[in-house]
């Protein structure tokens, strides 16, 4: 079972990817979900991953190794995902939410988090 920090790393890695890569990964996820009749947990895989990132940055904010700078960075990611969650449904359906100004901000913040936070690298989790 992956740890909360391993899950956070996977989500931050997804958030740090370019918009086109995010769309490709979510297309594969949706195709797999459709094939096994599992479906996303909510109405949109795009919303699902934003919600998961928002939840995990809050869940991991108390990690002592992150320090004040790391906690502020996670707070910024949480605030950005919160604003993204309020985007129109059409932006989730066509995944343009990742190409928006907020999507670009999320990408930058996640890239910074990947370099600033000490996260486990021993296991790569598939998305």
**Using 50, 70 and 90 to split pLDDT, how confident is the model at 119?**
confident
Which of 68, 123, 74, 79 shows the shortest CA–CA distance to 102?
79
Rounded Cα distance between 26 and 30, Å, is: 6
Tell me what the mean pLDDT of segment 86-103 comes to: 94
If one compares 114 and 124, the residue with the highest pLDDT of the two is: 114
77 versus 44: the higher-pLDDT residue is: 77
- Spell out the SS3 assignment of 37-66: CCCCCCCCHHHHHHHHHHHHHHHCCCCHHH
pLDDT, position 42: 61
Q: What is the pTM of this model?
A: 0.88
């Amino acid at each position: 079972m992956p740890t909360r920090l391993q899950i956070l790393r996977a989500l931050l890695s997804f958030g740090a990817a370019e918009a086109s890569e995010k769309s490709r990964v979510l297309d594969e996820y949706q195709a797999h979900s459709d094939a096994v009749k599992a479906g996303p947990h909510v109405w949109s895989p795009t919303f699902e991953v934003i919600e998961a990132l928002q939840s995990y940055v809050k869940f991991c904010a108390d990690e002592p190794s992150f320090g004040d700078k790391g906690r502020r960075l996670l707070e910024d990611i949480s605030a950005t995902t919160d604003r993204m969650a309020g985007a129109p449904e059409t932006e989730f359906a066509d995944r343009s939410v990742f190409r928006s100004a907020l999507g670009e901000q999320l990408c930058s913040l996640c890239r910074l988090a990947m370099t600033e936070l000490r996260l486990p690298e021993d296991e790569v989790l598939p998305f």
